[in-house]
Amino acid sequence: MMRKPLPYGRDDDTAAETYVREALRRSQRGNWPALLADDRAVQTHRVLRRIESGAIQTRVHHREAIKQAEADRDAGLISAAQYAEKYQEYAQWRERSVVFDAVLRQYLNMAVDQVRAIRSDAVAESLRQVLLTLAVAVEEHRDAHSGEESLADTALWARLRLLPWPTATGAERRVLADAVATERARRGPARRASEDPIQFEGLPVFGETVDVVDLLLDVTDHTRSACDRTELAELWKQRTPDLLDSAAAQVTAARQKGSYPSHRLRRALLFLEGLDLISRVSDEGGAEVVVTDRARLVELRRRWDEQQFGLDDLAP
């Protein structure tokens, strides 16, 4: 069933209190699914606490008033009949108050449970993001040292395949390596879509170039620093299907200047070569791209991702 939208903003507690008071009435209690929704539960809990505080003050006032009436009767300031009338009014109010307090407590408990669940989910998600940050750092360490790893490195990297990744539902078993793969797959399109460069060694570096760096690190290691340029271009096309469908790709094809993704790849490789991070070599055996400074490539990717994908931006 679709819940009714609430007619006030999340920062308008005055209007919220009026609405919540109406919702506590028996005829209006169908409004609570909206009031206890994730985006409103905290405000509703805050307003219910305010109503509870007002009810406590009213209770104290009535009790003090009936005690004063009793003292006035004993002092002869009012008659016994007047006191009996005041006490009857107090007893009637107390009966209504007991019913109201029971209803208020019921919904306040529901709001407390909902807020606790929301905040617990937020804490759990924050811890998941921290864990993912650590796992990505381990993966970057492996990219930097693959092919020259120590036994300690191997043991550390193995944790990515062994340690479980807590999912939101807990129904599917995944390991940290799965979460890292998902995160890296998410970052590729985000890098290429970004128009915000970072400064690296005095030069602006855009996300698309960093995505080429990521591909180079993925297909090479310390024992095999070179990759075939044709194979690299094919992998880049598979990685960037969005470029094939772009308007610029259609213009490039119309001008018969080759593949647009290949053009973008060449531009990124030229930039990286200018930084002495790679070299492009050709001989009778074909053309290759050689990673000449793996550590700086890893640092470039890490620095760009750290600035663009801060801890708060990590996705599950």
Is 267 within the bounds of a domain? yes
The pLDDT of residue 20 is: 92
Which of 96, 120, 144 terminates a domain? The answer is: 120
Q: Tell me how many domains the chain contains.
A: 2
Which of the four pLDDT bands, split at 50, 70 and 90, describes residue 312?
A: very low
Phi, psi (rounded to 5 degrees) for 124: -60, -40
In a 10 Å sphere around its CB, with 0-12 CB exposed, 13-18 middle and 19+ buried, how is residue 235 labelled?
middle
Q: What percent of the chain has pLDDT over 70?
A: 86
116 and 205 both lie in a single domain: no
CATH of the domain at 237: 1.10.10.10
Across the range 71-91, mean pLDDT stands at 92
Residue 227 CB-half CA count within 13 A: 21
DSSP conformational letter for 26: G
State the Cα angle at 237 between 143 and 190, rounded to 5°.
60
From the list 175, 126, 147, 160, the residue with the least C-alpha distance to 312 is 126
Is 150 within the bounds of a domain? no
Is 272 within the bounds of a domain? yes
Q: Which of helix, strand or coil describes residue 48? A: helix
Q: What is the pLDDT of residues 222-236, one digit of tens each?
A: 788 899 999 999 998
Rounded Cα distance, 242 and 54, in Å? 59
The pLDDT of residue 251 is: 54
Is 133 within the bounds of a domain? no
State the Cα angle at 209 between 286 and 260, rounded to 5°.
65
Across the range 99-115, mean pLDDT stands at 87
Q: Which of helix, strand or coil describes residue 77? A: coil
The pLDDT of residue 122 is: 66
Rounded Cα distance, 215 and 235, in Å? 8
Which has more pLDDT, 244 or 274? 274
Which has more pLDDT, 204 or 156? 204
211 and 305 both lie in a single domain: yes
**C-alpha distance from residue 137 to each of 108, 133, 304 (Å):** 43, 6, 14
**For residue 253, pLDDT beyond 70:** no
Which of 120, 152, 186 terminates a domain? The answer is: 120
Q: What is the mean pLDDT of the chain?
A: 82
**For residue 169, pLDDT beyond 60:** no
Is 60 within the bounds of a domain? yes
Is 274 within the bounds of a domain? yes
Q: Are 109 and 150 in contact (CB under 8 A)?
A: no
Which of the four pLDDT bands, split at 50, 70 and 90, describes residue 1?
A: very low
Q: Which domain holds residue 259?
A: 194-313
Which of the four pLDDT bands, split at 50, 70 and 90, describes residue 243?
A: low
In a 10 Å sphere around its CB, with 0-12 CB exposed, 13-18 middle and 19+ buried, how is residue 303 labelled?
middle
Which of 85, 102, 120 terminates a domain? The answer is: 120
Rounded Cα distance, 15 and 118, in Å? 23
**80 pairs with which residues across the strands?**
none
Is 114 within the bounds of a domain? yes
Q: What is the pLDDT of residues 148-160, one digit of tens each?
A: 777 887 887 787 7
**For residue 313, pLDDT beyond 50:** no
Q: What is the pLDDT of residues 277-293, one digit of tens each?
A: 999 998 887 899 999 99
Residue 200 CB-half CA count within 13 A: 26
Is 2 within the bounds of a domain? no
Q: Are 37 and 6 in contact (CB under 8 A)?
A: no
Which has more pLDDT, 100 or 316? 100
In a 10 Å sphere around its CB, with 0-12 CB exposed, 13-18 middle and 19+ buried, how is residue 89 labelled?
middle
Q: Are 183 and 136 in contact (CB under 8 A)?
A: yes
116 and 198 both lie in a single domain: no
The mean-pLDDT minimum among 28-42, 110-124, 168-182, 203-217 falls in 168-182
